Amino acid sequence: MLTLDFHPTGRHFLQIPGPSPVPDRILRAMSLPTIDHRGPEFGALGLRVLKGIQQIFQTKHPVVIYPASGTGAWEAALANTLSPGDLVLMYETGHFAALWQKLASRLGVKTEFLGLPGVEGWRKGVQAHLIEERLKADKEHAIKAVCVVHNETSTGATSNILAVRKAIDAAKHPALLMVDSISGLASAEYKHDEWGVDVTVSGSQKGLMLPPGISFNALAPKALEASKSAKLPKAFWAWDEIVEMNKSGYWPYTPNTNLLYGLAEACDMLLEPAFGGLEGTFARHRRWGEGVRAGVRAWGLEIQCNEAASYSPVLTGVITPEGVDADAVRKLIYERFDLSLGTGLGKVKGRMFRIGHLGDCNDLTLMAALSGCEMGLKLAGVKLAGSGVQAAMDYFAGHPAPVALQKAA
């Protein structure tokens, strides 16, 4: 029998920026028996989750659900809309933006990677004016798509997608706007239709509180139109058959039934009016981000994102002092306190760690996480300016959660 027990007792604190902890309600939903994906119950389930996920993306257009993890949905967005050799303008906000760019290159499109020099771009959201300038310079409209990351999971910077939309419009450029909101969706505010996004890519294991294994492409008519002439080979990722069959609640090939059970439950939880619906969800994560950042500041440590308007409600990157290996601190914290934190990736490897406050959180879970960090930092010999735990308690106690966040007993 499977057992994975590296700590003797108590619940593991999984505070990486995804996969996020899966609530018991969702794990229980996922343990329903697998059913015939061609039978009548499945059709009812399919229609239900397709409607629910549209509400999460805030779109009236089709959302394609892939039985694949998020990296696949990146590929799908490109493969459905582009042709070999097409030029794509991508913006470097951090490691995941870079991975998407690398994936695009492997698929055979040309990529131009825009961003601020050095690691500076890794400390801010997308600078929309740079995109506007570049598009204005592209008189021939060689650029077929602009790709940006909404919430950069490697740094904790959340970009202003509406500003990117406006930049494209200001440049009067026909490029598609494609956005990765893998870690943003359902924790950070996101409005696919209102922000004029053509394809939004997302995954299950972040704000949606599911295990990894399903991923999404939210579409817009312009993207669907582009897919008709796009020449990159596509079969598994092809939108056309999926969108068509989804009308009746089915998929052309075997869907990931048990994760769809979980998705139905997740939508119910996130949209629950008694808890403020999606707006209530976003407000909770904004507040948690504030509390965690208050803690980091009290420690005297720097926050990876140095642009206040782009602070992420999903995660906070913490830079360790010069000479302190952030991964050694993480290892110590994991071993002593059964707490998993996110590692620094790519350009910032060993220089920072990440605290997730996405998905299924509450104040005390974050207090536990901050306590583990504070004890671990001290044990690692880091001199702290003050108690981040105290600062976070002050913040959380002083700022009650918005209304409708607790049902009357």
Show contacts with its own copies in window 222-261 (CB under 8 A).
232-236, 238, 253-259, 261
Contact between 162 and its own copies per CB under 8 A: no
Contact between 198 and its own copies per CB under 8 A: no
Site string for its own copies, 379-398 (x = CB under 8 A): x-------x-xx--x--xx-
Pick between residue 27 and residue 130 the one whose CB is nearest to its own copies: 27
Q: Cα(248)–Cα(259) distance, rounded to whole angstroms?
A: 19
Among 101, 111, 158, 205, binds its own copies (CB under 8 A): 205
Contact between 44 and its own copies per CB under 8 A: yes
Contact between 275 and its own copies per CB under 8 A: yes
Please indicate if the annotation marks 123 as binding a ligand: no
Specify the amino acid at residue 310.
Answer: S
Show contacts with its own copies in window 319-358 (CB under 8 A).
334-340, 343
227 to 143, 148, 209, 245, 276: CA distances (angstroms): 16, 19, 30, 17, 37
Cβ neighbours of residue 323 under 8 Å, at least 6 residues apart?
none
Of 112-120, 130-138, 298-306, 363-371, the window that binds its own copies (rule: CB under 8 A) is 363-371
Q: Cα(195)–Cα(97) distance, rounded to whole angstroms?
A: 20
Show contacts with its own copies in window 174-193 (CB under 8 A).
none
Contact between 284 and its own copies per CB under 8 A: yes
> What's the token pair of residue 255?
């869907």
> What's the token pair of residue 169?
């419009």
Phi, psi of 128 (to 5 degrees): -60, -30
- Tell me the three state secondary structure of residue 261: helix
Pick between residue 148 and residue 377 the one whose CB is nearest to its own copies: 377
Q: Cα(10)–Cα(231) distance, rounded to whole angstroms?
A: 53
> What's the token pair of residue 408?
């009357």
- Tell me the three state secondary structure of residue 174: coil
Show contacts with its own copies in window 71-90 (CB under 8 A).
71-72, 74-75, 79, 84
Cα 164 versus chain centre, distance: 18
Phi, psi of 220 (to 5 degrees): -135, 160
Cβ neighbours of residue 1 under 8 Å, at least 6 residues apart?
none
Contact between 11 and its own copies per CB under 8 A: yes
Pick between residue 307 and residue 360 the one whose CB is nearest to its own copies: 360
Answer for the pair 312, 353: CB distance below 8 angstroms, yes or no.
Answer: no
Among 228, 362, 381, 383, binds its own copies (CB under 8 A): 362
Identify the H or E element spanning 151. strand 151-152
In the complex, the smallest distance separating the C-beta of residue 395 from its own copies, rounded to whole angstroms, is: 10
Phi, psi of 310 (to 5 degrees): -110, 10
- Tell me the three state secondary structure of residue 241: helix
In the complex, the smallest distance separating the C-beta of residue 98 from its own copies, rounded to whole angstroms, is: 13
- Tell me the three state secondary structure of residue 111: strand
Contact between 363 and its own copies per CB under 8 A: yes
In the complex, the smallest distance separating the C-beta of residue 374 from its own copies, rounded to whole angstroms, is: 6
Among 272, 302, 307, 325, binds its own copies (CB under 8 A): 272
Residues that bind its own copies (rule: CB under 8 A) add up to a total of: 120
In the complex, the smallest distance separating the C-beta of residue 131 from its own copies, rounded to whole angstroms, is: 24
Pick between residue 68 and residue 219 the one whose CB is nearest to its own copies: 68
Pick between residue 164 and residue 242 the one whose CB is nearest to its own copies: 242
In the complex, the smallest distance separating the C-beta of residue 37 from its own copies, rounded to whole angstroms, is: 7
Binding residues, by number, are 354
Which residue ranges make up the annotated binding site for substrate?
A: 354
